[in-house]
Amino acid sequence: MNTPLSYKDAGVDIDAGDALVERIKPLAKKTLREGVLAGIGGFGALFEVPKRYREPVLVSGTDGVGTKLKLAFEWQMHDTVGIDLVAMSVNDVLVQGAEPLFFLDYFACGKLDVDTAAAVVGGIAKGCELSGCALIGGETAEMPGMYPAGEYDLAGFAVGVVEKSLILTGKNVAAGDVVLGLASSGVHSNGFSLVRKVIERASSHLPVTLDGQAFKNAIMAPTRLYVKSVLSALKAHPIKALAHITGGGLTENIPRVLPDQCAAHLERSQWPRTELFQWLQTTAGIDDAEMCRTFNNGIGMVVVIASEHANACAQTLTNAGEQVHRIGVIADKGDGPAVVIRT
Q: What is the CATH number of the domain that holds 228?
A: 3.90.650.10
Judge if 145 and 195 occupy the same domain.
no
The answer to whether the CB of 181 falls within 8 A of the CB of 314 is no
The residue range of the domain holding 31 is 14-166
Angle, helices 192-201 vs 68-75, to 10°: value is: 50
Residue 1 pLDDT level (bands cut at 50, 70, 90): low
Judge if 327 and 191 occupy the same domain.
yes
Judge if 208 and 308 occupy the same domain.
yes
Nearby residues of 243 by Cβ (< 8 Å), 6 or more positions away: 95, 253, 254, 256, 257, 301, 302, 304
Q: What is the pLDDT of residues 16-73, one digit of tens each?
A: 888 888 888 888 889 999 999 976 777 888 999 999 999 999 999 999 999 999 999 9
Judge if 262 and 310 occupy the same domain.
yes
Judge if 207 and 334 occupy the same domain.
yes
Among residues 122, 146, 166, which one ends one of the domains? 166
The answer to whether the CB of 136 falls within 8 A of the CB of 129 is no
In the chain, the percentage of residues whose pLDDT exceeds 90 is 87
Q: What is the pLDDT of residues 279-296, one digit of tens each?
A: 999 999 999 999 999 999
> Averaged over 199-210, what is the pLDDT?
94
Please report whether residue 162 resides in a domain. yes
Count up the domains in the chain and report the number: 2
Judge if 209 and 139 occupy the same domain.
no
Judge if 155 and 225 occupy the same domain.
no
Q: Could you tell me the pTM of the whole model?
A: 0.94
Beta bridge partners of 267: 342
Q: What is the pLDDT of residues 208-251, one digit of tens each?
A: 999 999 999 999 999 999 999 999 999 999 999 999 999 999 99
Judge if 228 and 331 occupy the same domain.
yes
